[in-house]
Structure formats: C-alpha cells, structure tokens
A and B are shown apart, each in its own frame.
Chain A
C-alpha cells in the first residue's frame, strides 16, 4: 500500500519551474531519500506535500488524502522537521515537546505522556529541563525530529536533518532515523550521498525540478553502469535524460 502518491506535481514561480511534473509513489513504512544539488526542487516538493505550498498543477495524495482538497487531514497525518532547527528557543525541551503534542490535539496528560515517550526514544532525559537554545546543534536536531514525531505522523518529512552537524552527531541522528523505518513513511532530503545510501530504502534523484531516477543505491549504480554510488549520482544529476 502506498502512503504517498504523487501525480504530475508541478510548482512554477514566474519564470522558474521549481518542480516539473513529478510522479512518485512511496510505500507505507518506506524511507525515501530525495537527493539533488541545490535548487533541484527537493524542499519545494516537501513543502507542497506538507501543504505549506499550493502546487501550480498536479496532485498528490497522502494516505489517500489530497494535498489540495484535504489540507487539514493531511496536516494532521503528517509532520515535518524543517531544514533549519525549528525549536522554540526560550522553551525547555519538555515544553517544546508538550507544546507540539498540544498543537496536534493532545490534552495535558496525554501530551506529558507523549513527551516522556519521545524523551526516552530520543535519549533527551539529561537535557529535558534545559532551554533548547542551550543545546548543541546535534541535540537541537534530535529535539526537532522528536517534536515532529510526537504527533504520531503517518508520514514524516525530514528536510536536510543532518546539515551542518559533525560526523558523530550525524551518526547519532542516523540511529534515531533508522528506528523509524517500517513504522513511519519518511521522505528525507539530503545533500549527503552516504546519508541517502545508509538510511534509505530507495533514492530519488532530482535535478532542475525533474525526477531523473528512482531506485535502490545498487539499482542506480546498475542503471548508470558506474562503479560506485557517487559516480552514479554525478552521472544522473549531470545528465538530461531520465532513468527508468
């Protein structure tokens, strides 16, 4: 069963075609990495799928709900961890978690329970009562993802979740993302090839707003006839054609 079905999704800004007739299916519990160079259309795609942007044309269904006609349902079913760390800096870790739970309709006791669950899942216990602005970059990203998961989303968007993190913090975050596989449908955008390769079930490569190829890392290597994934990505990203 597909949790995400995208049909000819297009976003145009005046003279710029940010996303061009995107077609894509993502199965329930799958982790799909959206890979591409700057301006490829990754973030615009995520913003359309999370109802932050209205498409110019085309349609997408998340858990059978239209991103155009059922926005409130889609918003209730999904959550996003934006590219920049999106936490309330003057609130503590617990307050951030409980705030997000309340925003998605949980009552006081339920939000407290959910915050406790996320604290355990993301090992945030030691910093629970600290203001989020005092946390390290890696810890803030971890909190950001925990805030996105506290609403029990069916579909989660992670927009460059490890951007700017050192290698240790990145690996630590990977562990948490890997735990989601099979339970939550995840679309993850990233610039890091090794991240896409390590975490995802499939990888979709976008350039200039177009989807160029979709498949496992090995399938993309095979499609292009290259020796490794980096070469395969360069081949796909620099080419004009689409790989089926």
Chain B
C-alpha cells in the first residue's frame, strides 16, 4: 500500500485539507464544534476510516490476482497472513494521526503529554479500522469495496462520529444509532484523551475495545473460512 502513492496521498491529504478548511472557517466564524482541541481528534478518527479502504482493497486485489493462492500454498499460517497485512498498516495509521496533530498544531492545537494518550487511543481505533478492512477485503471484490468502504464506511464515520455536527441535535433514532456504534465513542475517547480528561475517556473506550475485539475476531474467522474456500 505504501507503493500506492495515490491512495497514500489521499488518505493523509484529505483529512489534512478538511482540518485546514474547518480551522480556517473556525478562525472567521467561531463554532464550538470546530474548536481545534476537539477537531484534531475527530478528524484523525475520520481519517482512519480510509485505512479500512486501503486494507480492504489490498487484500481483495491479492485475492483476485492469484497471488494470495500462491501464499496459501506456502507454509504460512492464517495468523501470519493477518499479522502481515495488519502490521504495516499500523505505522501508516500512526503517521496519518501524527500529520493531523502537526497540522492542528499550526492552528493552535496544544501539544502535551496527553497528545501521546490520544495517539494511543487512535492506534486502538486504527486496529478496528484495519480489521474491518480485512473483513471486507476477504468477502468483497475491489469494486464492491469502493462502495462499501469508500463511500458507506467513510460517510458513516463522518455522520455518526459527532465530528461534523452534534448528533444530539438530530436526536431520536439517529442519536441512538450513533451511540450504539463505535464511531462517536472513538471521537469522544480521543478528544477526552487529548484534553487530559482520563475519566471522560470512559465508557467510550470500552465501546471501542469491545467493537475492536469483535471485528478482530470476526475478520480472523472470515479470513480463515475464505482461505479454505477460495483454494477451490
């Protein structure tokens, strides 16, 4: 994926552009929603949704090209495959979050010891998104992934994370759905971490941990079953 410069540039560049745009708007028309201390963690979470897209495309293309079949016939174990796909994406996710922090710093984001705590929370979120990408990449082709991960997941993250608007303002079923899904909890846990409000990270962090565990296990099960089925 690192070789895929277009995807890499888009994955890092798009969140940065949003950060710059919203910070510029904030400088002209102050909105509490877009205060830089809240905006940076929120945009960083949103940016991680692109990592899902990359992971999914990567694994899907390998499946379609027979390259994965070559690897299936090697002595590699399913866990080797998953580690092999996940590990290289973690530094990339971290780099993406760091770029958000540095750009945010230029607009007044306060850097302190809690920034590292926020990065740790974001790293956990990236495991969720990478696992989700592996899961989708194991079952969908690259065209379907464009729709599911490229459009649906990034939009779900955007709408349901509370980064662009307060979901409480919409209320009703929308708010309930947002609170039941992990996206808003990721943004709030990261924002609380950045603010040094360690108590405020909970219970959001539990949602993130639970969803990450479920998606991780799900991706392992799906990958294993597809590994056996696709040899056919």
Contact = CB atoms under 8 A, between A and B. Distances in A.
Interface of A: 13, 47, 50-53, 72, 75-76, 78-91, 100, 103-105, 131, 147-148, 151
Contacts of B70: 80-82, 86, 100, 147-148
Contacts of B76: 103
B21 interface: no
A86 B4 contact: no
A185 to B, nearest CB: 16
26 contacts: A13-B232, A47-B232, A51-B73, A52-B73, A53-B232, A75-B73, A78-B73, A79-B74, A80-B69, A80-B70, A80-B73, A81-B70, A85-B65, A86-B67, A87-B65, A87-B67, A88-B62, A89-B65, A89-B67, A90-B3, A100-B70, A103-B71, A103-B74, A103-B75, A148-B70, A151-B74
A88 B73 contact: no
B23 to A, nearest CB: 34
A51 B72 CA distance: 9
A82 B76 CA distance: 17
B198 interface: no
B151 interface: no
A52 B66 CA distance: 12
Given A53-B231, A90-B3, A91-B3, A75 B74 contact: yes
Given A80-B70, A80-B73, 17 more contacts: A52-B72, A53-B232, A72-B75, A75-B73, A75-B74, A76-B75, A78-B73, A82-B66, A85-B66, A86-B69, A87-B65, A91-B3, A103-B71, A103-B74, A131-B3, A147-B70, A148-B70
A81 B76 CA distance: 16
A53 B69 CA distance: 11
Contacts of B71: 103
Contacts of B61: 89
Interface string B66-103: 11011111111000000000000000000000000000
Interface in B121-157: none
Interface in B26-83: 61-62, 65-67, 69-76
Contacts of B65: 84-87, 89
Contacts of A80: 69-70, 73
Contacts of B74: 75, 79, 100, 103-104, 151
A201 to B, nearest CB: 24
A15 to B, nearest CB: 15
A88 B4 contact: no
A151 B71 CA distance: 12
Residue of B62, B65, B73 contacting most chain A CB atoms (<10 Å): B73
Given A75-B73, A75-B74, A83 B232 contact: no
Nearest to A84: B66
A147 B66 CA distance: 13
B69 A52 contact: yes
Given A84-B66, A85-B66, A90 B4 contact: yes
